[in-house]
Structure 1
Amino acid sequence: MKTIAIIPARGQSKRLPKKNSKLLNGLPLLVYSIQYAQKQAEIDAVYVSTDDAEIKAIALQYGAEVIERPEALSGDLEPTISALQHAVKTINCSTLETVVLLQPTNPLRPKELFANAFQYYTNNKCDSVFTVSRNHHKLGSIQSDKFIPHNYTPGQRSQDLEPLYFENGLLYITRVAELLKGFIITEDGYPYLVEHPFASIDIDTQDDFDLATFKLNFYIND
């Protein structure tokens, strides 16, 4: 076993309760990431890290293995790296080389994304690869009731903005050795560019969930 997928899925969420088990077009949200991982020939096993009995049952039902996450690693402020390190140490496999992180809150991914990103990771012997998308917004902050532009000057055309990118959360690939040091994205991590409508789906609220439903149906029917 050289490459595994880990899907961290806590039971509780403040803004959208039980979102990881909430049905998206008839399937629990979590299942989209499980099934995506299962379709990838390069992934040898799929694990769900959870503190929740319902999520555990769903993961097992759909063919994933389960890592029971301790309560101490399941709080709102606990970083994802803690769950990944706990999972790797629990699995304790000497041949494990690579972890693929799939966040259940990013359920929709372009079909060929993983194969292409993993090929780049392998061919270039990267320590990590993560997905990004270009930002096309005029951004700024509000200070003392005044808007302060950050990435443009007033009147500048959107197409002339400085190219800036955001971490979209669709996919992370990391060497286990780096993960155990505390890194999901390493210093030399490769930003894999994704320009696809799915890259904007990151579910935190009911509005996000509704948008995911719309885009999923649109692309199914397209």
Structure 2
Amino acid sequence: MILKNNFNFRNIVIIPARAGSRRLPGKNIKRLADIPLIVHSINYAKQNLDIVGRIIVSTNDAAVKGVALREGVEVIDRPNAISGHEAPTIWALRHVLDNLSQEVENVILLQPTNPLRPKNLLKDAFKEFSKGKYESLMTVSRSYQKFGKIKNNQFVPFNYEMGQRSQDLEPLFFEDGLLYIIKASLISQDKLLGENNFPFIVNHPFSKIDIDEKEDFEYAEFLLKRTKKK
């Protein structure tokens, strides 16, 4: 989708969706609430056209390409050489930028495996990103889990002391994958995370959704139904 009259054409969305998931074959087009998984991210991008000037799917999967084209967004065919299980996401992003004629300032990365996002997340995150001279922004969420290591067949607490309440833990955060905003100049250096990075904290049940297995789909559907009832 190219929005030629959109003054925000320097901000683009890239949705990388390669073929060959090992744990859940065909997951990017598997239906979540009767909608192909990747379409949830496409629709989210379309809901933010006041920020986004172009929506691009990067894929080596013919089925994903067909879905994306039917949704009216652009597709850039990703070579199999950069589509394997070990290929990092940054390769796909850089490949897209290398194949565009326009100059891009900011890339908004939406991963199809994180299909559920709070409605105002992108607007709020982009506003924060624009306040400072940030190179990148990533969403993070707080973890209240008690982690430990196994040493010499013994469990050793890592981020807590035995008996400590979870609400009293030192705050630790995890990369939830909901949203990334990256300067194109940073991607050209093969980097997703800049030295001047803004961690945008998300406190929402959607941050726990990362689709890799059937059980993830079932939990996502449960959250969607619960959200619609409110």
Same fold by TM-score, threshold 0.5 exceeded? yes
Q: Secondary structure at the match of 1:59?
A: helix
- Determine if the alignment matches structure 1 residue 198 to structure 2 residue 186: no
Which residue of structure 2 aligns with residue 154 of structure 1? 162
How far has the Cα of 1:145 moved from its partner?
2.3
Please state if 1:217 is matched with 2:205. no
Residue in 1 that maps onto 2:6 = none
Q: Does 1:114 align with 2:122?
A: yes
Q: Is residue 76 of structure 1 aligned with residue 90 of structure 2?
A: no
- Partner Cα distance (1:221, 1:15) in 2: 31
State the aligned residue count.
Answer: 221
The answer for the alignment partner of 2:59 in structure 1 is 50
**1: CA distance between counterparts of 2:227 and 2:149?**
35
2:187 maps to 179
Asked if 1:145 is matched to 2:164, the reply is: no
Gaps of 5+ in 1: none
More displaced, 82-91 or 181-190? 181-190
Deviations 1:95-131 (A, max 9, x none): x101000000000000000000001111213111110
- Distance of 2:61 and 2:89 partners within structure 1: 16
Alpha-carbon separation, structure 2, partners of 1:122 and 1:72: 35
For 1:35, the aligned partner's letter is N
Deviation at 1:143, TM superposition (A): 2.6
| Structure 2 residue 96 is the aligned partner of structure 1 residue 87 | yes
**Counterpart check, 1:65 vs 2:51:** no
1:19 to 4, 17, 27: 27
SS in 1 for 2:99: helix
1:116-135 map, 5 Å: 116-135=124-143
TM-score (normalizing by structure 1): 0.98
How far apart, CA to CA, are the structure 2 residues paired with 1:154 and 1:193? 28
Secondary structure of 1:86 counterpart: helix
The alpha-carbon deviation at position 144 of structure 1 amounts to 2.9
Unaligned runs of 5+ in 2: 1-8
- Show CA shifts across 1:144-165 (max 9, x none): 3211110001011111101000
Measured in 2, the distance between the counterparts of 1:33 and 1:72 equals 25
Q: 1:77-102 CA distances to partner (integer Å, 9 max, x unpaired)?
A: 000000000001111312x1010000
Q: Which amino acid aligns with 1:91?
A: L
| Shift in Å, 1:11 | 1.7
Q: Which residue of 1 aligns with 2:15?
A: 7
Which letter maps to 1:18? Answer: G
| Segments ≥4 residues shifted beyond 6 Å | none
